[in-house]
Amino acid sequence: MMVAFKPAGRIYQDSVMVEDKIYFLGGLNGANIGTSDLFYLDISSPFSSVNLKWTDLTSVAPIPVKSAFAPACIGGNKNSTIYLFEHHMTDNVNSTTLVTFAFDITTQKWYVQSTSGITPPPRQNLKVVVDMNGKIYISGGFEPYITLKSSNSTYIFNSLSNSWLKGSVAPLIRSANTATLLPSGHIVYIGGTHDFPNGTTLILDYRLAEIDMNQTATGATIGTRLSHSAVLSNDGFTIIIYGGGSENFTATPEPSLAALDTRVTPYRWSKISSTGTFSPPPLAYHSAQIVKNFMIVAFGALFTTNGFNLTTGSNDNVYILDTSNHTWITSFDLTNHNSSNPSSKLHEPQFNIPLIASLSSGLFGLIIFASILAYIFYRKHYNYIATPGTNTGDLNYIPTPGSDTGDRNYIATPGTDTGDRNYIATSGTNDRDHEFDGTLVPGVITEMMAESIAARDGAIFMD
């Protein structure tokens, strides 16, 4: 009798949504060693959170290195490639630059992607997003075994041309935060740390075009956090954050669930009260993805009396939140769900055909007559030749992986001895271009647009 595959608990993994599958990559096992695991959860048919449809690809397509802390993202031609950005080329050899591993979803083969341009230095413990043009934005993160500090540099990887471009410097240094791309082109970074373990709810809104703005989020008071998760709700404007740790990971942030409304200026926080019998325990270093109206939370570290246990307290369960009513559920049928992902139909116009067909012939004739008059008037007073390319219609939004890949306290080189690699920065150790005392002000927002990230220095910052 064949035994169904069930992945072991893990932390610091990443996940990528590809059509009707959620791929999970790497992560630390109970011995704090990175893994070469690659597997996916099939969400195309009804499933239960206690009887999941896992498929293990590790035996046929293991990650080329033992991976953890590494961000992953979909990209390439027709979104057919998963990119994994690692800080080492082999298990025991660190790299002086970021290594771009690519997984061809069709052939199920891994390879090292050859790239051109300015390759970023190695980094980990960060999240990345991809825009509609296949450009992957990598901002911040922790630089292992070189500076041993978090960064505020930004790099853009064009997954269509396989080229790197260095962007402008972000206004804040951070790692262990989340990154969410909005349909408007704003990349919203929430929480994280500046080499200090307490975390923050600070919001960095990296707008994709010409101006950078700092502002303060309003609404409910949201506890500081890092190594949490964030997903963009099905409505296309609400960011839902969950979990994470605070106070050197000895405490859980309150509330565990919160929503950020990005329709308003400034953005507005609200607390989420959830119900349900299968709600998750406090988690950090987990993954989260949005599937229609459902947030799927997987793996991560469990909270114990001594805080989040990184060695023996890993979670092997999956939890499902119905974001339409904030209820934790055990099963659902996506095939009978009427909502759609913002990535595919957020801006698609909806036409009421029966209503159009019911118009009377008289009204229809009146419309035609008015249209002719308008055209005659237009031709009489204007001589306008359209220029191709002026259409400014909606963007096709590509969703972002919503998980966070870990925390600053433990910087491991997967596959090597991790006993001597614990690193906890202390206040005052940062020798960058401004002083920082380790306290981040909750609610501060910085907006940037992606074109300006890659454009040039001299971005405008407004406090």
pLDDT digits (tens, 9 = 90+) for 238-278: 999 999 999 888 899 999 999 999 999 999 999 999 999 89
C-alpha span between 315 and 303 (Å, rounded)? 10
For residue 59, the model assigns a pLDDT of 96
For 285-412, where are the E strands, in sequence order? 287-291, 294-298, 301-304, 307-308, 318-322, 327-329, 331-332
C-alpha span between 181 and 153 (Å, rounded)? 18
Question: What's the CATH code, domain 14-340+394-455?
Answer: 2.120.10.80
3-state secondary structure of 287: strand
For residue 337, the model assigns a pLDDT of 58
For residue 65, the model assigns a pLDDT of 96
CB 450 within 8 A of CB 456: no
List the Cα angle 22/27/31 in 5-degree steps.
Answer: 145
For residue 122, the model assigns a pLDDT of 93
For residue 28, the model assigns a pLDDT of 94
pLDDT digits (tens, 9 = 90+) for 404-440: 333 333 333 334 333 333 333 333 333 333 332 333 3
Instruction: Give residues with Cβ within 8 angstroms of 305, minimum separation 6.
Output: none
φ/ψ of 308, rounded to 5, equals: -80, 120
C-alpha span between 57 and 63 (Å, rounded)? 10
For residue 420, the model assigns a pLDDT of 34
Tell me how far CA of residue 397 lies from CA of 129, 184, 212, in angstroms: 11, 9, 21
Beta pairing, strands 81-90 & 72-75: antiparallel
Residue spans of the domains in the chain: they are 14-340+394-455
For 21-80, where are the E strands, in sequence order? 21-25, 38-42, 47-48, 54-56, 72-75
Q: What is the DSSP string of 235-256?
A: TSSEEEEE--BBTTTTB--SSS
Percent of the chain with pLDDT over 70: 67
In single-letter form, the type of residue at position 279 comes to S
List of the chain residues with pLDDT < 70 = 1-3, 196-216, 312, 336-463
| Residue 341 CB burial class (10 angstroms; 0-12, 13-18, ≥19) | middle
